[in-house]
Structure 1
Amino acid sequence: MSQSKTVRIDAQLQAGFAIHANINGHALVIDQPQAAQGTNQGPTPLEMFLFSIGGCIGTIARIAAFQQKIDLRGMQIQVEGDYNPAGLLGRPSDDRVGFQQIRIQATIDADLSDAEKAEFLDQVCHRCPLHDNISLETQVVHQLA
């Protein structure tokens, strides 16, 4: 088994819904839209989660293209998911609280056939840690500090 690496972020909730973090010198804010009592300072946690998946796929694609000597000129990655907001609002729901399905669609700008692009995307998604986390069961532990 390979040596594992820990990734950590520290996030702070103060007044309102905005969550602030400074990650490797990058100030990030997650918030809610004004219609949901937020101040719209940043994307929602669900939007940031989907962005993270798209970002991870793009990063792994760049690494894989470099390794395979593919001239990857660019990549458009669309990530969308369906969820029932009732549970997170504390309302009764038969659905899970999280996304019921997450769909990833990619347009790859490279000199590859459609079949080669599909195979490349499969390889990339297989190597993506976030794709792995949402595809397979991951133990999540929470506790008070």
Structure 2
Amino acid sequence: MTLKTITVEAQMQEGFAIKSNINGHQLTIDQPEAARGSNLGPTPLETFLFAIAGCVGTLGRIIAMQRKLELRGMQVEVEGDYNPAGLLGKPTDDRIGFQKIRISAQIDADMTDEEKQSFLDEVCHRCPLHDNISLETEVVHQLN
């Protein structure tokens, strides 16, 4: 088995802004002004959900190319429900993370609804981020 490692480094900026240069792409995440941020970018939670949507869309394109299907477009919506009490340090019996994540897609292709559902099932099955949120993944943290 050959594993590929992806590394992302991020730097805290003024206030709540966090910046990263990822393969030459500047990415900023922040908090809205109402949460004492500067609103320079989406929140980490929004970025996480966007990454899932992006992964699903990317896999849709890959699978369509592999099957030689004309995929004219795909709109992916990802919603997540969480209780913010824990991340704010307040007592809660809920998990800190998302309690439920819902992925829905509109697929613009010449397929029946059953074929579109089967396509989406395969897309989600092959999506690494879908896998990470569906199954337990070991996460370690340390000081450098």
TM-score w.r.t. the length of structure 1 is 0.98
Match of residue 118 from structure 2: 119
Structure 1: stretches of 5+ with no match in the other structure? none
How far did residue 14 of structure 1 move?
2.7
Cα distance in 2 for residues equivalent to 1:44 and 1:129: 22
Cα distance in 1 for residues equivalent to 2:91 and 2:79: 24
How far did residue 15 of structure 1 move?
2.2
The alignment of Structure 1 onto Structure 2 pairs a total of residues equal to 144
Write the deviation string for residues 79-113 of structure 1: whole angstroms up to 9, x where unpaired: 00000000000000000000000000000000000
Match of residue 56 from structure 1: 55
Identity of aligned residues (%): 69
Q: Which runs of 4+ in 1 moved over 2 A?
A: none
RMSD over equivalenced CA pairs, Å: 0.5
Whether 2:2 is the aligned partner of 1:34: answer no
1:120 counterpart SS class: helix
Whether 2:20 is the aligned partner of 1:21: answer yes
Match of residue 75 from structure 2: 76
TM-score w.r.t. the length of structure 2 is 0.99
How far did residue 64 of structure 1 move?
0.3
